[in-house]
Structure 1
Amino acid sequence: MQRRTPQQPGWMVELTAAIDIPVEKIQWIWQDWLPRAKLSILAGAGGCGKTTLAISIAARLSRGGDWPDGSKCEAAGNVIIWSGEDGIADTIIPRLTAADADLSRVHIIEGLRDQRGNRRQFDPAANFALLNEAAARIDGVSLLIFDPLINLIRGDMHRANEVRQGLQMVVDFAEQHCCSVLGISHLSKSASQSSVADRVIGSQAFSALARTVLVAGKANNSEARVLVRAKSNVSIDIGG
């Protein structure tokens, strides 16, 4: 029995010959590590320094400093940070200060406020669209940090369809503002997956949608921390 496809009057598929589509180069916040206009994930076990590293990246970008690999930050940029786990005044700001951030370029999401001055909590899954106006108000954003990333998912973080639906608005935001979105996540304790990128907590749709997955951890028998590329669809995927 032949299946019939429902027709949609007035609509047609738009096709463009590949030769008519101009090639665009990948733009970078941090060359080969943090691409612009893309979603990236920074994952690791608890206590390995994920948030400290993310704040360090924000600080270096805010002042146009050198990256950890010695490369130069080409231009300073604005940063927006949402944290659902750490206190702003007693943890985030002191860490930014310790990392020598330009605090005038780093903006913290503290909540929502209406025209009457009423305030309420910022819900990442429900209120994300309001960040478009916020980014325009500060003359653009180069880096948006969400800690943790799973708070952007309104439904079940283990269901691929719900994760993709929740993260699509993030992907669209990154493209629209040509900024990097860095989501902080944990790794599952299971070591059965062949790739460490597949251990990002929740559905594998998280690491599938992210163009880059970075993993932080402690070096063996040392207090030193390491940062490695677990996955990259836009550059090399080895090294650390």
Structure 2
Amino acid sequence: MEDVAVEQVEWLLYPFIPYGKVTIIQGDPGEGKTTMVLQIIAKLTKGEPVLPVMDGEEESAEQAGEPVNVIYQTAEDGLGDTIKPRLLAAGADCSKVLVIDDSELPLTMLDERLEQAIRQTNARLVVLDPIQSFLGAEVDMHRANEIRPLMKRVSVLAEKYHCAIVLIGHMNKNSTGKSSYRGLGSIDFQAAARSVLIVGRVKNEPETRVVCHVKSSLAPEGKPIAFRLDKDNGFEWIGEYDISADDLLSGNNRGQKINEAKEFLLEILADGAVEQNVILKESESCGIKGKTLWNAKKALGVQSIKPGGHWSWVLPEQ
């Protein structure tokens, strides 16, 4: 180890997606994994910060960078009728979203075309969606000895070209299992990845989806982040959300904490405006975390006003 140079980890999105490593994003079908990834891609192609500054936060340390090229391979959605419309809706520069033509010969994780494309385009992000479609017809995704060479290969590519490789996967149907064992196939998928994220829908709030960190080898696990996805308003980041990955997947206490925060605000503001400092102190004594309170404030449409030079909160006029 005396001859090994110490290297600084660089991040596409701290602490969720590192450069030079493999990240897995998984969840049940229809939970918004692909839509979320396309939103991230859109920001990268414009050189914009991936996550906006949320209510109650100071200015993010993440700064806009140079627009980058992205390779996005999908085996489930049509490019013309699904992927491009979503990219356009997200404001992407589609000239920087690149696709390997595999119409005649299906692409696999061992395919030389993958490395050629990364080298030729200098892509900073490569997405394979979903994992199982790029294993190869002869590979059994449940056999560790067959999965390890594939994951080793993409890990080497990520490190060699210092790009982030994101593999999107579905979950198995074991609703009682721990989140780390809900991914399809061999556990070696998760073992080889340096970061694993789970996307799930919040019960009783069907438009709210949450991204939870279930493995982070290079940094402390990130706090769960929620986004809203509905037909009328499309995609919108909400902010941090107080729920664990296991609770999100099992359905235990889904949405309970934010509902408690909503009830608290409705009660404390029932008779009119209350100073923000008083609300924050009272909510802390009730065990309500700050981010949960701010999310409840936004969900209820609570307004901030400043009479007499002090910030106060008030319920919206009915």
Q: What range describes the TM-score normalised by the shorter chain of this pair?
A: 0.7 to 0.9
- Quote the offset at 1:218 in angstroms: 1.1
Q: Normalised by the size of structure 1, how large is the TM-score?
A: 0.83
Pair 1:133 & 2:116 matched: yes
Distance 2:52 2:25 in 1: 17
Q: How do 1:166-177 residues align onto structure 2 when only pairs under 5 Å count?
A: 166-177=150-161
Where 1:124 maps in the other structure, the secondary structure is coil
Distance 1:166 1:36 in 2: 19
Pair 1:56 & 2:47 matched: no
Percent of aligned pairs sharing the same letter: 34
2:48 partner letter: G
- Quote the offset at 1:238 in angstroms: 4.3
- Quote the offset at 1:136 in angstroms: 2.6
- Quote the offset at 1:125 in angstroms: 4.4
- Quote the offset at 1:21 in angstroms: 1.5
Task: Name the structure, 1 or 2, with higher relative contact order (CA <8 Å, separation 6+).
Answer: 1
1:162 partner letter: E
Shift in alpha-carbon separation, 1:167–1:91, aligned structure 2, 3 A:
same
Partner of 1:180 in structure 2?
164
Shift in alpha-carbon separation, 1:35–1:125, aligned structure 2, 3 A:
closer
Distance 1:149 1:94 in 2: 23
Pair 1:33 & 2:16 matched: yes
Pair 1:84 & 2:75 matched: yes
Structure 2 contact 12–18 (Cα < 8 Å) conserved: yes
Pair 1:229 & 2:213 matched: yes
Aligned residues between the structures: 213
**1:48-70 alpha-carbon deviations (Å, 9 max, x no partner):** 00110111111111111122264
Where does the alignment leave 5 or more consecutive residues of structure 2 unmatched? 54-61, 225-318
Partner of 2:197 in structure 1?
214
Partner of 2:28 in structure 1?
45
- Quote the offset at 1:152 in angstroms: 2.8
2:223 partner letter: G
Distance 1:234 1:166 in 2: 21
Distance 1:190 1:100 in 2: 37
- Tell me how large the CA RMSD over aligned residues is: 1.6
Distance 1:130 1:109 in 2: 8
Shift in alpha-carbon separation, 1:125–1:33, aligned structure 2, 3 A:
closer
Shift in alpha-carbon separation, 1:125–1:174, aligned structure 2, 3 A:
closer
Q: Normalised by the size of structure 2, how large is the TM-score?
A: 0.64
Partner of 1:198 in structure 2?
181
Partner of 1:93 in structure 2?
84
Shift in alpha-carbon separation, 1:177–1:26, aligned structure 2, 3 A:
same
Shift in alpha-carbon separation, 1:76–1:31, aligned structure 2, 3 A:
farther
- Quote the offset at 1:77 in angstroms: 1.2
Where does the alignment leave 5 or more consecutive residues of structure 1 unmatched? 1-17, 113-119
Structure 2 contact 171–182 (Cα < 8 Å) conserved: yes
Structure 2 contact 100–117 (Cα < 8 Å) conserved: no
2:92 partner letter: A
1:24 partner letter: E
Structure richer in helix, relative to its length: 2
Structure 2 contact 16–222 (Cα < 8 Å) conserved: no
